[in-house]
Structure formats: C-alpha cells, structure tokens
Amino acid sequence: MYDERELIRGNTPLIVLAVLRDGSQHGYAVLQEINRRTGASLTFKQGTLYPMLYALEDDGLIVGQWEHAQGERPRKVYSITPAGVAELEKRLKAWETFTSAIQRVIGGLPDAQPS
C-alpha cells in the first residue's frame, strides 16, 4: 500500500534546509512555510520536524539561537550554515537526478542517451 510519508521521511532534511536557505525561522514557522509552499499537500508534525532540526544542528548544517522578545516566550531560531548550504546543493543535485530517472521510468521524459 502506498504511503506518502515514506517519500517525505527520506527528504525531510532537503525540505527543511531549502526553507532555511531563504531565511532564519523558528520551528513552528518552518512548519507553516512548508505548508504554505506546498499548498498543504505536505504536512509535517512537530514530532517529525523537531528531531530533524536537532539532527541537522548536531551535524553542523544549521545553527539555533534562542531569542526572547519582551512579552513572548523564548524560541529557538534556526539558520542554515555554509556547510548546510553545501549539503543542500548536494541533496538538490541528487534529487534532480532521482526525479529525472523516475520520470524516464514512468514515461514522462525521453530515454536518456548514453554519454
């Protein structure tokens, strides 16, 4: 049986890094931005996102900094690092290769010519 969560799970780092490439955000704002960009067709739960943010931070791909505006609760704002930008570019190339290959298999693109 088809489960789209499998597609999301393997690509969560790519999605999160792409959102943070466009500007620093706190975790909930990342969720909202993914929802906005996908027209609500991809939904992440906090239980998926926050462990991913922590893992990306542990890997040095993003950095989190606590902010505390007066009258608001403290929140951690995440920014992509230069290593994160490099990783994002690597993942984008892999994604493009993968999706191109899948399109050829399902008939969306002409057969690839040998190099």
In a domain, 35, yes or no: yes
Domain count along the chain:
1
Q: Who contacts 91 (Cβ-Cβ below 8 Å, separation ≥6)?
A: 13, 14, 17
Is residue 115 in a domain? no
Q: Mean pLDDT score of the chain, rounded to an integer? A: 88
Quick one: pLDDT at residue 82? 98
Distances (CA, A) of 51 to 2, 32, 100: 24, 17, 30
66 in a domain, yes or no?
A: yes
Q: For residue 16, is it within any domain?
A: yes
What pTM was computed for the model? 0.83
CATH of the domain at 82: 1.10.10.10
Looking at the domain assignment, is residue 112 inside a domain? no
Considering the domain boundaries, does residue 71 fall inside one?
yes
pLDDT band for position 5 (cuts 50, 70, 90)? low
| Domain range enclosing 30 | 4-106
Q: Among 3, 1, 36, 104, which Cα is nearest to 15's?
A: 36
Q: At what angle do helices 27-37 and 46-58 cross, to 10 degrees?
A: 110
